[in-house]
Amino acid sequence: QSVLTQPPSVSGAPGQRVTISCTGSSSNIGAGYDVHWYQQLPGTAPKLLIYGNSNRPSGVPDRFSGSKSGTSASLAISGLQAEDEADYYCQSYDSSLVYVFGTGTKVTVL
């Protein structure tokens, strides 16, 4: 039931910068609802990575940054590290009164 579209996978070498897109519509991201990002390491629960489009919770490295524009949002990981290999999900809210998640993106560190 994902209504936010993400690329299935992205990859990069250690130290490189990768970006993950999250595309919504006029009823969710485009309606002004904030976008949040989660990191899910294998076999673990999602962990809040970015909230309110671009804010990092305490303890999240500043290598992670978020932005939003129009009906889309992006997560950037700079200085990619082996420990960043995980699944990443965006999340927003929809005018149909539903919390919506992205389809998920697997980040591979080459």
Partner 1 sequence: QVQLQESGPGLVKPSETLSLTCTVSGYSISSGYYWGWIRQPPGKGLEWIGSIYHSGSTYYNPSLKSRVTISVDTSKNQFSLKLSSVTAADTAVYYCARGWELAGWFDYWGQGTLVTVSS
- List residues binding partner 1 (CB under 8 A): 1-2, 33-34, 36, 38, 44-48, 51-52, 57, 89, 91, 93, 96-104
> Considering the complex, what minimum distance in angstroms separates the CB of residue 58 from partner 1?
11
**Which lies closer to partner 1 via its Cβ, residue 19 or residue 103?**
103
Q: Cα(32)–Cα(100) distance, rounded to whole angstroms?
A: 14
> Considering the complex, what minimum distance in angstroms separates the CB of residue 76 from partner 1?
18
**Which lies closer to partner 1 via its Cβ, residue 14 or residue 61?**
61
Q: Cα(72)–Cα(36) distance, rounded to whole angstroms?
A: 12
> Considering the complex, what minimum distance in angstroms separates the CB of residue 16 from partner 1?
26
Beta-bridge partners for 68: 73
**Which lies closer to partner 1 via its Cβ, residue 42 or residue 62?**
42
Q: Cα(43)–Cα(25) distance, rounded to whole angstroms?
A: 31
**Which lies closer to partner 1 via its Cβ, residue 14 or residue 52?**
52
Look-up of token digits 């993400």:
6
> Considering the complex, what minimum distance in angstroms separates the CB of residue 85 from partner 1?
17
Instruction: Return the biggest CA–CA distance within the chain.
Output: 41
Tokens matching residue 15: 């130290």
Tokens matching residue 2: 């994902």
